[in-house]
Copies of this chain bind each other. A is one copy, B any other.
Amino acid sequence: MPAFSDDRLRITYQLTCMPGEDPEAKARDIAFEQTVELPPAIVPPEIAARMVGRVDTLDPLGGSRWQAVISYDRVTVGIEVPQVVNLLFGNISMKSGILLTGISWQTPLLERLGGPAYGIDGVRGLCGIAERRPLVCTALKPVGLSAAELADLCFRFALGGIDIIKDDHNLGDQESARFRERVARCQDAVARANAQTGSTSVYFPNLANGSPAVTEQVELARAAGCRGVMVSPLIVGLDTMRWIARTTRLAVLAHPSMSG
């Protein structure tokens, strides 16, 4: 997508039209549905001019398919992840023949939302690795083992040279290995192994709660000495992941559960 000089967010959709369906009307419907969500006739003109999405381009892709680029004013975008998701594909997720194929992020929006707090070089640093070699990561499982058994696995993984040992995403706060005990024991096991080997394996517990339990889990993980955590953003919440990444100094490993 070409560069633009303004700060509108541009979203590309692939439209598949039913027989008799007008691609222009379909694109315009998206622009209204994702912003003012009102019939055009009753939208105040100054609101319509600024807030309704603008269909910048509409091009045939062959057959019944079209590509529409719709741009949105920064006020409608806001700076909250949930609202950005609403704007991208919220209500129209319930309509047919609409595929989101591209997002042209403007730099100011990216800066306000924030990206990775560490990035791959930062994570290498957490693991005490100076050279640019691949990192070795494993998942701690299966569910059903006790906290002590999982910690024993952690110890052996760390002795064996695994860089990142992460909870499996199905480890929550089950009675077989409660979060508090599991995190304390596993982090301790990794620290003991590191003391033996002189390396710096890290353990990332899985955070599987919403507000405010997730903030308690963050504090437990930090208090135990963990340097990072795992989150399934599509289950726990995209903005919760953003908050952890931006404010806690914990590295965040995202899991694709429920991402379809």
Cβ A93 vs Cβ B257 within 8 A: yes
How many residues of chain A are within 8 Å of chain B by beta carbon? 64
Contact among B50, B212, B215 with A144 in the assembled complex (CB-CB below 8 Å)? B50
Query: A145, B47: Cβ atoms under 8 Å?
Result: yes
Q: Tell me, yes or no, whether A161 is within 8 Å of chain B by CB.
A: no
Partner of A75, one of B36, B87, B175: B175
Cβ A35 vs Cβ B142 within 8 A: yes
Residues of B within 8 A of A238 (CB): 210, 235
Residues in B with CB closer than 8 Å to A259 are: 93-94
A26 within 8 Å of B (CB atoms): no
A220 within 8 A of B: no
Query: In the assembly, how many copies of this chain are there?
Result: 2
Asked whether A86 and B232 contact (CB < 8 A) given A75-B174, A173-B79, A237-B237, the answer is yes
A88 to B214 alpha-carbon distance, docked (Å): 21
Q: Are B174 and A260 in contact, with the CB atoms below 8 A?
A: no
Q: Mark A130-143, 1 if CB is under 8 A from B, else 0.
A: 00000000010111
**A contact set with B: CB distance below 8 Å:** 34-38, 43-44, 47, 50-51, 75-76, 78-83, 85-87, 89-91, 93-94, 139, 141-145, 168-170, 172-176, 208-215, 232, 235-244, 256-260
A-B residue pairs in contact (CB < 8 Å), sample of 5: A34-B170, A38-B141, A82-B232, A86-B170, A211-B215
Contacts beyond the supplied A93-B257, A210-B240: 13 A-B pairs with Cβ under 8 Å: A37-B170, A47-B142, A47-B144, A51-B144, A76-B144, A80-B209, A82-B208, A82-B209, A85-B235, A90-B235, A94-B259, A211-B243, A235-B238
